[in-house]
Homo-oligomer: A and B are copies of this chain.
């Protein structure tokens, strides 16, 4: 069962639809001050699009482009026709703003409803929206999607855990929209209030508001006795509802009838091989008010090869593996810290802490991974430790295609940083 026919279109039909919509999008975008200029300079008009692959003929749009065009430079029509805006906080420079016509809001609500349907929500469900509302697209995005799907929507907003629990119990809430970093705290609060999460009416949690690991998902599912689903979105592409997991939990389906997704090498801008990690680039093809072409999301992911068991034909992306800005280049190979983390965290002997150091060996750049070993494994048996070291280096090489130096260190010997851990340290200037 699917919410929309587009979810199961044959690839050829889907790509035909994408090409048509891309053509139309270029027509529309040409009405905006920004793209009319860009198209003129690059001699772009709708006729250059014959297949969806021709999207590659178009120039990228970056966050900096959006900033320089703040607030109105990308609008294709008179401001009168817009009914909503969302804006980034702009704490680190000029903010960015995204504007929606009523039709754009309808399209977005449909995409959200489709997303929620894909994880099993139906009109008989009761969804409690536990995220903040306001300029953050996650709040109103989920809210409109939930109403569109016909779920009874409880606009609880953030905070007030006690009251959240009361609402959930009073109204038999079956689905939560909850920020993953809040979910574990919430589970503890539920227990502290004297309730067993297993007895709560909920079944499904939407936790896509922040990037998180598979490990974090499992933990949330276990602690809350719930099925937790990841999703992907960004305000430049409406907000949530760009890509969503299905009940298979094996990657996030991109709603390709509304977005063209590419994955590129962030250095060269060229497409990566299918299945390789790179920067996600997105083009809106159903947005009328403020289309954005080949937007450099800076988010790292990969296309998951093959067909999903759910029957949807749209491609899936893997969970976000970091930011393109974190990428390291070593011996001509792109390396993402998240790749290293994924391998390290999968090794039982390794503790919570590690650090990636960029060093110079003679004239050559090299990576050194310092890994804390759990106390019980940090024995004086040199042979065992050397074996472990070799094993880790081998696994890393299989993932990142170069062999890094691996150093095993004692539990608690790597300084813990406040807040977000600094995982990559560049020592190339200080060390020889």
Answer whether A155 and B135 are a contact pair too, CB < 8 Å, given A83-B147, A124-B80, A147-B83. yes
B80 near A171 (CB under 8 angstroms)? no
A124 to B155, CA, bound (A): 28
Contacts of A156 in B (CB 8 A): 134-135
Which one of A84, A139, A155 has the greatest number of beta carbons of chain B within 10 Å? A155
- Look across to chain B and name the residue whose beta carbon is closest to the beta carbon of A80: B124
Residues B71 and A171 in contact, CB atoms below 8 Å apart: yes
A152 touches B102 (CB 8 A): no
With a CB–CB cut-off of 8 A, which chain B residues contact A171? 71, 85, 97
Pairwise interchain contact B84-A153, C-beta atoms closer than 8 A: yes
A80 and B153 contact, Cβ closer than 8 Å, known pairs A133-B133, A170-B71: no
The answer to whether B153 touches A83 (Cβ under 8 A) is yes
C-alpha spacing A97/B172, complex, angstroms: 14
A80 touches B150 (CB 8 A): yes
Q: Name A's interface SS.
A: mixed
A102-B133 CB under 8 A given contacts A84-B153, A154-B85, A167-B87: no
Q: Does chain B have a CB within 8 A of A337?
A: no
Q: How far is the CA of A140 from the CA of B156 in the complex (A)?
A: 12
Pairwise interchain contact B152-A79, C-beta atoms closer than 8 A: yes
Pair A102/B134 contact, Cβ less than 8 Å: no
* Distance of A128 Cα from B89 Cα, bound (Å): 15
* A152, B71: Cβ atoms closer than 8 Å: no
Contact of A134 among B81, B90, B133 (CB under 8 A): B133
Contacts of A167 in B (CB 8 A): 87
For residue A132, which residue of chain B has the nearest CB?
Answer: B157
Which residues of A are interface residues toward B (Cβ below 8 A)? 70-71, 79-87, 89-90, 95, 97, 99, 102, 105, 123-124, 126, 132-135, 139-140, 143, 146-147, 150-157, 163, 166-167, 170-171
The 9 A-B residue pairs whose C-beta atoms are closest, nearest first, are: A134-B157, A133-B133, A83-B147, A82-B152, A80-B124, A84-B153, A134-B155, A80-B123, A85-B154
